[in-house]
Chain A
Amino acid sequence: MVKKLYFFILLIFSTTIVCAQNATLRGQITNTKTRERLQGATVRFDEEKHAVITDENGNYILSVAAGEYKIKVKYVGYAEFEKKIKLSPGQTVVLNITMEQKEENLQAVSVFGRLDKESEAAGRTAEKDANNITNVVTAKVMERSPDINAANVLSRVSGVTIQRNTGGSEAYAMIRGLEPRYNNTLINGVKVTSPDEKSRYVSLDVVPSDLLQKIEVSKSLLPEMEGDAIGGTINMVFKDAPDTMLIKANAQIGYSQIFLDRKFQSFSTADISSKSPLAINGDDYKAQPGDFSRSNLDFKQKTALPSAVAGLTYGNRYLDGKLGIMIADNYQNQYFGTNSQFNPVVANPQDDFKPGITDFSNLTYSNHQINNGLAVHADYIIDKRNKILFNNVFLYSYLAQARLGIDTAIVGGNGGRNGPGTGTVTDDNRSLVQKELLENFKLEGKHILSKHLLFDWAGVFSVSTKKMPDEADISINHLIKTDFTSTPDYFDGITHTWQHNNDKDEDGIANLTYKGKINDHTLELKVGGLYRHKDRFNEQDQYQLKPLAGADGGKQIYTGIENASWSVYNAKGTADYDVNNYTAFEDITAGYAEFKLSLNKLDIFGGVREENTSQGFDYATFIPTAENAVRKNYTDVLPSLQLNYKLNAKTNIRASYFKSLSRPNYYELVPYNIQGTNGTSETGNPNLKHATADNFDLRYELYPKDDEQLFISGFYKKLYDPIELELTGFGGGDITYKPTNIAPEATIEGVELVYTKYFGRIGVSANYAYIYSNVTSLKDFPDTTQKNTAVGKLESRPLQGQTKNSANASLMYRDGAHKVFVQLAYQYIGTTLSQVYNNYGYDYYHQPQSFLALSGEKGVGKHFTLFGKFNNLLNTPTTTTINNITVGRDIYKANYNIGLRYVN
């Protein structure tokens, strides 16, 4: 139907005499109008299964037996090119082809179309053609960058920073300085359940970047998108079936500098029981001292093995191209560690209530993590109008972590310290094994009902579980006396904890799209809805082992775990009435209607979404002293308007407004302490309100060439009922934080710049974000008139987690002819408010950080690429200070990886 459009062929015959039967065809494919080089176009001979895909310069090369062929070139959005060509033996033919962009067509683009979505140019095209404000990172970029998981990749996107826990084993994205709670994470466009008991979303470090086709970061929302993202939405799109057979494999090994500098602390997992004593023996059982293992508390210093990563991707089409299959598996076996120092502070009344250190605490983490990700994609093209897609993502993560801690209390406790190097020293050593499984199954269909109507639907079933069998924690103490002599070690107790949780998610999604024309202008109307039921249970069983009295009835001397003797203090465990035993649910019903009107130069996109949320929570056992059954119900109406003005073919100006929300996590509604490490705990708040925000964005986009870009954007957000962690004082003697709507509102405004340009072989990619946020809330201030009291005083400060300045800069060298690519990546994160302190004038701040990473690759032969990735070359620590006192320092050290990649 679509008529072949104009094309222009330039044929240059050049003949070389080679004594070979084969002939070679090569050339470059470009856009007729813009002269853009088209990367990812498929070039094939009709009779041959073999096909090649053009490289980033649009070049292709094919080697075949001499003869007469029909050559076909396909590129999505462009008219297909066909030509007969005759090749004689030994001949090399250069055939440069230009292709004409087709008029946008629903059938071609929305339903069956497929760009080479993995190339960098595709990323730019996606950003350029998006209806909203997005940044896209493609597989090619990820392959070449020094990053092995989604977390590392995202840290290089403008306005995105990654929040890590101290052990370094969890990572969540902050977008535009907004805490992870304000953002959502999707896999293939749908939300995934999280195996973590505290977070809604999957930790980004368990998603291997090799499985990803691209990561989209949307900073403005369309009505068709879920509304619970104030900072933005991260969509991890897994790999899709290719048009021709694809085999990719890679393998790499690496080592962490930290284990060249110190040993890896390991423990035996052989005796870990997968179930707690009560779970094994029934409810009437009383746990005996012999029911608890010793070997997982016997820490040994070992030399860490190298880390290994391997990946295999296979894709092909069968049944005359009707069935597409893509299978990708990625396996990571990693050893990494952290050396961490944490010194809590409190207001020191002897020093004008300035924060003073209370404890010196040193923690060394040794992690062994195995991640395996298996992504299966299948699509079946029933006919030209109907297509069924199937996606399954299965992630498995195993973590064995040893944490050796040494803690000296300076203030309080049972210590007594009158100088440096004295006092009670507690060794707190912990081992844990954690197994996480995540399964995300999605079935979707796209059906063209008529020339103007498209119906698509999806059903999602997602389940994730986490099992933490036998987290064991031993406490040993000794006293360094004022004459610097030490007492022997005393055995102070052991805790064994079994934890298990399960999160289930069922979604139904349906959309109906109308595409037509009004006075030659394209009009798109879309309505749709979503229903999601989510439920979760959490189970915990914990046992306290108390040391038996020593020889004279006093405290037991500790001479090693093998000799320790104990009684089981709570022989019935805590399973029957543990407050961490809960069930929770969340039901979301959403509907939307939107339109897109494409005028000559202006796209107007708008609509409204309504989301109804019903959230709730029950304890396994009734607890009379606390709120037991929490139920919340609220409805949000979320309008959105996006304007995209196409100044010319290479320039867009976008403006957008949207309203969005952030829901509290399940556990945050529960009025009970969740004990943390380092003497801090978190308590839930049934009165916590969900946050909403008005978001305004403006962006100027310039695409000089298809892999070059310049973005300048500004944004303003006003948050209502922002949720922050407030220090609520003591709760059981600990510093306790409570999620609270501390301030009624907050404002965030910022400017972002993104710039990518190639100067021949050398490319520069840089982004910078300046973000200013303002929250005003009450803090304690020592009363100057009346001693011994504090008064409330309003203080303005940044929002928690905010970084004023963040920047990324990459210097790239690419030489297509020699297949060399080198990238030097620099990242800067400015001072960040990490925690709010309760006294006026002070807050915890992360100090500025500069990271440097180097990666490079070199093609070897036709199929192989040798690559290296070297991270954190500056050994940048994470340093936390308050009142110019360093209270925390996490050191990760550098990481080196080299590997080999194969592509057919």
Chain B
Amino acid sequence: MKKNTLSLLVTGLAFVSILASCSKKESTNNITPVIPPSHPIAAGNISGFVKGTLLTGSTYTITADLTVKKGDTLAAQPGAIVVIKNDAQININGVLQVLGSQNNPVTFDSDSQQPGSWGGFACDSAQAVTIKWAHVNNTGGPDPSGDPRKSVSVAVAINVDIEDSWFTNGQDDLMGIKLAHVTILRNTIQSSGSTDGEAINLKAGVTGDVAYNVIYNQAGSGVKLETSSSVPFPQTVVNVYNNTMVANGWRRGAAEPGRGVSVGVNAIGHIYNNLMVNNYQGVDIFPDGDTKNTTYGNNLFYASAATFTDNANVVINLAANFYPSDGVGTAQTSDVISKDPLFVSFDGSFIKPNGAANPYDFHVKTGSPAIGKGNATYNADIGAYTSDGKGNKH
């Protein structure tokens, strides 16, 4: 009895469990309601004071300076296309929220598609700036005083979040940012600046991270860190890691060579895991920087030739410029020096014009000396394309 009872119990349990397994799992079908965007902006010409959302699949033409007032937001949905005419610029005194997607980025470009043919985002007194998955091309046209304008300029202590975007063929600085907290990740910045301009110019108390960016063929430096020369506080403190910087700093000439990364004027940089190939100069820690608190290492330096001779017959010893003699930085034992990183494709060129095409693939092949040589605090690998998939997605 005791045994029967037991087997019955077991059989019953088994039956119930079979029944249970046959019963349908509860499913919640969450029908996402289509939330209409705030203040949808109708396709066509826009200028003056504007707020609202640039819509997926719509094309907009900015015919004159556009201004987003304080408290207002200009948002962009994936796939919105914005064409800028008449050297206009976008003034953001409120919130900028450009949210493209990997498959459907947002595009900002001028009608002429020539370098330096529109103003860019003047966010000097913005309340927040977010740019994700967007193309920002051909900025840097002259401002009212005839000076070139930045792709994105910020001069206020806000959050600036620029991720997964392309900045192509601008003039002067691409990102000129002061005071803000920055998250600049996985962007591609290429062929910008005619005879001057940095790709990422961070000054006057900027904090945050610059990582996994690819910077190619910039006239001046890739990343420049400074505290304001007239206002010593707050200091600029930025982590610069896992960026790939190729062929930068040539167009500004030998009198003011461009660097992969420079740290000057009381700024603090933490510079690790960057991959630097064919730059005029590599990592330059100027004596006026906060040299005591600046740290660096695990950077890979490579030049595809021993020397380069510019049109003034200035012969540049490339290996000597990895840590140039005018700075106080020196090669670290963790650095990888003069080893070919084995890019998937690169022609080994040095100087190219503003607006040159970038047909190259700066992923590294298997067996690259960049793999596994990184400072693990940041990433096990060196460069913007890492084997853990955290890197650049372009």
Residues of A within 8 A of B (CB): 346-347, 349-350, 353, 358, 410-418, 422-425, 477-479, 481-483, 487-490, 492-493, 495, 542-544, 546-547, 549-555, 557, 569-570, 573-574, 577-579, 623-625, 675, 727, 729-730, 733, 735, 780, 788-790, 838
Contact = CB atoms under 8 A, between A and B. Distances in A.
Contacts of B178: 730
A675 B145 contact: yes
B232 A790 contact: yes
Given A569-B146, A789-B234, A490 B194 contact: no
A interface, over-half SS: loop
Nearest to A623: B144
Contact of B351 (A425, A488, A553): A553
Given A546-B195, A554-B251, A625-B93, 17 more contacts: A347-B232, A350-B288, A358-B229, A411-B288, A414-B252, A417-B326, A479-B254, A479-B255, A550-B310, A550-B311, A552-B311, A554-B253, A555-B195, A557-B312, A624-B65, A730-B229, A730-B231
Contacts of B204: 730
Contacts of A542: 145-146
B288 A410 contact: yes
Nearest to A485: B314
B233 A417 contact: no
B251 A349 contact: no
Given A412-B264, A418-B327, A552 B351 contact: yes
B326 A481 contact: yes
A729 B230 CA distance: 6
A550 B146 contact: no
Interface string B342-383: 000000000111000000000000000000000000000000
24 contacts: A410-B288, A413-B256, A414-B221, A418-B326, A477-B255, A479-B254, A479-B256, A479-B257, A482-B325, A483-B325, A487-B312, A490-B253, A543-B146, A549-B195, A549-B353, A555-B253, A555-B255, A569-B148, A574-B144, A574-B146, A578-B145, A624-B91, A625-B91, A780-B233
Contacts of B251: 549, 553-555
B255 A570 contact: no
A411 B145 contact: no
Interface string B264-288: 1110000000000000000010111
Interface string B321-348: 0001111100000000000000000000
A577 B178 CA distance: 26
Contact of A412 (B142, B265, B352): B265
B258 to A, nearest CB: 8
A554 B310 contact: yes
A730 B230 contact: yes
B116 to A, nearest CB: 8
A495 B252 contact: no
A554 B250 contact: yes
Contact of B195 (A416, A483, A547): A547
A554 to B, nearest CB: 5
Contacts of B227: 349
The 9 closest A-B pairs by CB, nearest first: A555-B253, A416-B326, A570-B142, A414-B256, A551-B311, A487-B254, A490-B253, A550-B311, A477-B255
Contacts of B255: 424-425, 477-479, 487, 489-490, 492, 555
Contacts of A412: 226, 229, 264-265, 288
B220 interface: yes
B388 interface: no
Interface in B176-228: 178, 194-196, 203-204, 220-221, 226-228
Contacts of A553: 250-251, 351-353
Contacts of A838: 230-231
B232 A418 contact: no
Nearest to B145: A574
Nearest to A483: B325
Interface of B: 48-49, 65, 67, 91, 93, 116, 122, 125, 142, 144-148, 178, 194-196, 203-204, 220-221, 226-235, 250-258, 262, 264-266, 284, 286-288, 290, 310-314, 324-328, 351-353
A190 to B, nearest CB: 37
B315 to A, nearest CB: 11
B349 to A, nearest CB: 10
A492 B252 CA distance: 9
A425 B221 CA distance: 19
A487 B116 CA distance: 29
Nearest to A673: B145
A423 B310 CA distance: 19
Nearest to B290: A349
Contact of B232 (A346, A569, A733): A346
Contacts of A569: 116, 142, 146, 148
B372 to A, nearest CB: 33
Contacts of B326: 415-418, 422-423, 481-482
Given A412-B226, A412-B264, A624 B256 contact: no
Contacts of B328: 418
B286 A416 contact: yes
B271 to A, nearest CB: 16
B278 to A, nearest CB: 14
Contacts of B122: 625
Given A490-B254, A544-B146, A790-B232, A624 B67 contact: yes
A483 B226 CA distance: 26
B196 to A, nearest CB: 8
A346 B327 contact: no
A424 B256 contact: yes
A452 to B, nearest CB: 62
Contacts of A483: 325
A478 B256 CA distance: 8
A540 to B, nearest CB: 9
Contacts of A550: 310-312
B325 A481 contact: yes
Given A481-B325, A555-B195, A730-B230, A579 B144 contact: yes
B226 A488 contact: no
A578 B144 contact: yes
Contact of B230 (A414, A492, A727): A727
Most buried by A among B49, B93, B116, B312: B312
Contacts of A424: 255-256
Contacts of B203: 730, 733
Contacts of B257: 414, 416, 479
A766 B380 CA distance: 81
A554 B311 contact: yes
A814 B277 CA distance: 83
Nearest to B265: A412
Contacts of B48: 624
B190 to A, nearest CB: 15
Contacts of B314: 487-488
B145 A579 contact: yes
A425 B254 CA distance: 12
A493 B234 CA distance: 33
Nearest to B125: A625
Nearest to A783: B233
A544 B286 CA distance: 30
Nearest to B268: A788
A573 to B, nearest CB: 8
A769 B204 CA distance: 44
Contacts of A479: 254-257
A727 B229 CA distance: 13
A570 B287 contact: no
A638 B352 CA distance: 69
